[in-house]
Amino acid sequence: MPSLTDALDALLPQTQCGQCGFEGCRPYAQAMAEGRADTNRCPPGGPQTIAALSQLLGRPARPLDPSCGTHQPFRVALIDEEHCIGCTLCIQACPVDAILGANQCMHTIIEADCTGCELCVAPCPVDCITMVPAGRDWTPDDAHAARDRYQARNERLNARHAEAIGPAARTLANKPALATLISDHDKQDRIAQALARARARRS
């Protein structure tokens, strides 16, 4: 029989964005089930999700907590492939394996798999990832598929490393590639040039 945490998790969008303040949708669901979190902390879900969560828990539906962000139309990540330096940092950050690429090779987003979590944007050292309108709504089928990809990624990382799933484990997943990147002087020079280009674009 599904637990209360299961039922709450099933109502969440499974973007795994962390805007709620928890490491993914299920930890947030567990916190709500245990009375440690309110139902108004999910920007991707917006008012509809807040209403559904509140109804399940028998609580009043409150407006989205502004400290968590704002609700907006579904967006996906886009990599400016001309400026991508192949550092793999975005691959490590993506919670659902929606980015293809390898060390020193151009990366690209699998748009159909992207949850719009934005977790790949900040780690990019050359500022070549932007969020663009998806042109469609995020659906329950998308959420179900995203949960499966998130769980598969966590299982893979768990099998590869003893550390708990989280940022440290994601970093370890690509540690050999990053070590190679940092040890090569020519590659460091390439990164410096790309950073200069990124700063020029921002100015």
Q: CA-CA distance, 26 to 4, in Å (whole number)?
A: 11
Domain extents in the chain: 4-68, 75-202
Whether the CB-CB separation of 50 and 61 falls below 8 Å is answered with yes
pLDDT (mean) for 82-101? 94
Structure tokens given for 176: 């050999």
The pLDDT of residue 172 is 46
Q: Does residue 81 have a pLDDT over 90?
A: no
Closest CA relative to residue 120, chosen from 95, 150, 144? 95
Amino acid at 52: A
Length of the chain, in residues: 203
Q: Does residue 59 have a pLDDT over 80?
A: yes
Q: What is the pLDDT of residues 152-178, one digit of tens each?
A: 999 998 888 655 545 545 544 444 333
Per-residue confidence band for 194, with pLDDT thresholds at 50, 70 and 90: low
CATH 3.40.50.10880 fits 75-202, yes or no: no
Fold of 4-68: 3-methyladenine DNA Glycosylase II; Chain A, domain 3 (1.10.15)
Per-residue confidence band for 103, with pLDDT thresholds at 50, 70 and 90: confident
Q: What is the pLDDT of residues 65-80, one digit of tens each?
A: 999 999 999 999 999 9
Three-state SS annotation for 20-59? CCCCCHHHHHHHHHCCCCCCCCCCCCHHHHHHHHHHHHCC
CA atoms within a 13 Å half-sphere pointing along the CA-CB vector of 30: 7
The pLDDT of residue 178 is 39
Mean pLDDT check: name the lowest of 27-36, 88-97, 173-182.
173-182
Q: CA-CA distance, 9 to 6, in Å (whole number)?
A: 5
99-100 vs 129-133, strand pairing mode? unpaired
The pLDDT of residue 166 is 53
Mean pLDDT check: name the lowest of 1-5, 143-147, 150-154, 196-200.
196-200
Amino acid at 130: T
| Residue 189 three-state SS | helix
Q: Does residue 179 have a pLDDT over 50?
A: no
Instruction: Answer whether 4-68 and 75-202 agree in fold.
Output: no
